Structure 1
Amino acid sequence: MLGLATGSTPLSTYAALAKSIREDRIDVSRVKGFALDEYLGVPPHHPESYRSVITREVVEPLGLNPDHVFTPRGTGSGITRAGEEYEALIAEAGGVDIQILGIGSNGHVGFNEPGSSLASSTRIKALAEQTRKDNARFFNSPEEVPTHCITQGLGTILRARQLVLLAFGANKAQAVAAALEGPVSSTIPGSVIQQHARATVIIDEEAAAALAHSDYYRHARQSAMDLMQ
């Protein structure tokens, strides 16, 4: 089961997966997917709802069964129970095997903004102004960006069997360095990946620019590759 992030960061990963599925004729009929988050108050048919985004960027390119791919419920009655419903849905499916993550310029993962509990579960959250500014490019105007969301919690994310964090570009460098080399803290929600036994980080040179120990990471990676030969 896949945990699915949205935004521009994972697009190249999804494109590579789609290519492998086509070329290697991989059967994905039983693959299930769970999105990290959804905007609150945005109907599923809205082009910028994460239901629509996941359909365009993941379900259709990878050829997944849309009935097997889920997003948190951001509309409807009893919305305060939507987090508990989503947690139960993930548990019923057996839990996430691989959770794909991005990281925001302020260190958020999912929509867990700075100050989020490290043990949090799926719940409604207010979006930080920086996050709304970063996401304004997907809307016609900054005013259209929702102010709230429903997101998997940091505790939910940590229950995935494996984490894959992706980050590309200079604007992510400080957040990457704080998440990987700073203290585990709610100030940088992405730092929770340090607590996971199976976390893989894939970044480019620009996103790695602020890392203090980048030379060692390159050495360790090359050593691992040499041992596999």
Structure 2
Amino acid sequence: MKDLYQQLAPLSLCALLFASPAVAQDAQNVPSQSAPTQFQPTASISTYKIKSGDQIEVYVWGEERLQRSMSVLPDGSIAFPLVGQVAAAGRLPQELETVIRNALSSQYRGEVPQVTVSVLTPAPIQFTVLGRVGSPGTFETARDINVLEALSLAGGGTEFANLDRITILRKSADGLRVLGANIKPLMRGRVDAADLESSNIVQIEAGDMIIVS
């Protein structure tokens, strides 16, 4: 038990370094469902990538008829008046703003009004952690997390876990992708720039399966 505690302590510390303040509150095992966390409207520069199931708002300044709240469809698209079907998933809000504004250009003789895209409610991300972890299972979170945070939610690696050989299975349009992660350098308690550079802190996506051998 003492060895397990010593291993979990740095993992929890590192997760806090990379996590947003509310990650631990947002994530839970699937059986205990809770409402997704409400996002504030995106700032002028956002690093959040829109995904299927997100509730977004599109607002064209000065055009109330073109203000819409909608969910991103399972195929990653949205339907917007005067524009039609637009691919939204995988894009930053500001990128989608540009796409919609360009598509509206044919509808205006002068300058096209400013377009604002806000993520109102992000769709929850569900992922599975298997292998040598304290609490293997399926988890759900309303926020983006990385592999370090995901393992922390699963109780961290056990005494004999190979934290330098973590496998992440991810479904994509091209089939099953296999990603690797190495967080062992981060388990020494003191993390420096070299440790971060040698580690592969993969961002977790919906449907990912994380295997700790």
More strand by share: 2
Tell whether the structures are fold-level matches, with TM greater than 0.5. Answer: no
Q: TM-score, normalised by structure 2?
A: 0.24
Higher helix share: 1
Normalising by the residue count of structure 1, what TM-score does the alignment of the two structures yield?
Answer: 0.23
Higher CA-based Rg: 2
